[in-house]
Amino acid sequence: MIRPIKSSALTRRHVLRLLPAAALGAGLASCSKRPVATADGRPIIRFGHFPNITHVQALVAHNLSRQGTGWFERRLGAQIEWSTYHAGPSAIEAIFARVLDVTYIGPSPVLNAYAKSRGEEPRILSGAANGGSALVVRPDAGITTPADFRGKKVASPQLGNTQDIQVRAWLIDHGFAVTQTGGDVHVIPTANPDQLTLFANGDLHAAWTVEPWVARLELEAGATVFLADRETTVTLLAARNGWIQENPALARALIDAHRELTEWIIAHPAESRQMIKDELQQLTTAAPSDAVLDLALSRTVLTNDITQASLEAMVNSAQKVGFLKDIPSLAPLLSNR
């Protein structure tokens, strides 16, 4: 079943908080009664992703589900229920509310959730993509050096998401005082579609975001890339720990299917490209132009790898900006790879 959803205002206001344990216990009774298998015995997997080109594997798999030839369905013998989110904190809330089993997501919300749950949730299954993000500036913003960001308005996709952490840490590294609501540079969490409008209207000076929005800001709003990131893990595959414990064989099969999908996409660029374009048309009602698609894909590096060192670097950034304090050992987080 194809079931796109959008994050609510409540979700956006609470992106850095896990739902209280008491509220979860009281409110999840109905969730626990949901069907876990179809009438013919196939398991049901609730699968999330974002309508971003950095979620390449999800876009291809979601499109194949629409065509009735689902990648995960055929390999897992499962029914996939797809949901879409605009940024990681929203998907993490769904994980904690137990309305989502597996999702493609950035590392920062995963680490934040892992820390706040004291290592109970979630778990990383595989890497998915590196790069695909950049800091872009308006040509008339007067920004040519890092020092020029003082007093400027800089957008990120959502408070606490991977790019939000990256831009705040980068600004701090360059000597700026940055708070959640102000400081020397104003970091303004702004949904990606809204960034494009605000950029064109001159209401933002810069943005650190992901593809295809980087390419769209360049080609449609005249932005220029100030700093491109091709190294940082931008997307990984994560799952609810409880779901893994209940379905260990299915989780292992899912990891294998995801890795096979990554390899298939790399080996079939033309077919994959068309599926990505078609799926974005379905999810956003407007397919990206060929120029945007080609530019965005050229900057997104597909990989099944994810290392503890890369996650520790993100932990350091999150601690630097004050979004993380203590965090348990990362070994359990990566134990299911």
- The domain tally of the chain equals 2
- Say if 2 falls within a structural domain: no
pLDDT, position 30: 40
Q: Are residues 220 and 243 in the same domain?
A: no
Token pair, residue 207, equals 């943005």
Across residues 134-160, what is the average pLDDT?
A: 95
Q: Are residues 38 and 171 in the same domain?
A: no
- Say if 282 falls within a structural domain: yes
Q: Are residues 176 and 224 in the same domain?
A: yes
Residue 194 belongs to domain with CATH number: 3.40.190.10
- Say if 238 falls within a structural domain: yes
Across residues 252-266, what is the average pLDDT?
A: 98
**Distance, CA of 118 to CA of 238 (rounded, Å):** 17
Segment among 169-183, 236-250, 290-304 with least mean pLDDT: 169-183
Q: Are residues 164 and 147 in the same domain?
A: yes
Instruction: Compute, in degrees rounded to 10, the torsion defined by CA atoms 313, 108, 234, 176.
Output: -70
Instruction: Please give the residue that has the higher pLDDT: either 58 or 200.
Output: 58
- Say if 1 falls within a structural domain: no
pLDDT at 21 over 70: no
pLDDT at 199 over 70: yes
Q: What is the pLDDT of residues 74-85, one digit of tens each?
A: 999 999 999 999
pLDDT, position 38: 85
pLDDT at 9 over 60: no
User: Percent helix, strand, coil in the chain (nearest 5)?
Assistant: 45, 20, 35
Across residues 257-280, what is the average pLDDT?
A: 97
Domain stop point among 229, 253, 282: 229
- Say if 87 falls within a structural domain: yes
Confidence of residue 144 (pLDDT cuts 50, 70, 90): very high
The chain-wide mean pLDDT, for the chain, equals: 88
Instruction: Please give the residue that has the higher pLDDT: either 63 or 26.
Output: 63
Q: Are residues 259 and 280 in the same domain?
A: yes
**Radius of gyration, alpha carbons of the chain:** 19
Q: What is the pLDDT of residues 32-63, one digit of tens each?
A: 456 788 888 899 999 999 999 999 999 999 99
Domain stop point among 195, 229, 263: 229
Domain stop point among 180, 195, 229: 229
Q: Are residues 95 and 241 in the same domain?
A: yes
Q: Are residues 28 and 90 in the same domain?
A: yes
pLDDT, position 33: 57
What are the distances in angstroms from CA 79 to CA 70, 87, 271?
A: 9, 24, 24
Q: Are residues 200 and 281 in the same domain?
A: no
CB 104 within 8 A of CB 235: yes
pLDDT at 10 over 90: no
Q: Are residues 70 and 186 in the same domain?
A: no
What are the distances in angstroms from CA 179 to CA 63, 267, 288, 321?
A: 40, 44, 34, 8
Q: Are residues 166 and 77 in the same domain?
A: no
pLDDT at 118 over 50: yes
Please, where are the H alpha helices in the chain? 9-13, 21-27, 29-32, 56-67, 71-76, 88-96, 107-116, 162-173, 192-200, 213-221, 241-246, 248-267, 269-284, 290-298, 308-320
Q: Are residues 120 and 243 in the same domain?
A: yes
- Say if 3 falls within a structural domain: no
CB 89 within 8 A of CB 161: yes
Q: Are residues 211 and 239 in the same domain?
A: no
- Say if 142 falls within a structural domain: yes
- Say if 4 falls within a structural domain: no
pLDDT, position 55: 96
Domain range for 242 is: 9-131+233-334
pLDDT, position 335: 83
Q: What is the pLDDT of residues 204-251, one digit of tens each?
A: 999 999 999 999 999 999 999 999 988 889 999 999 999 999 999 999
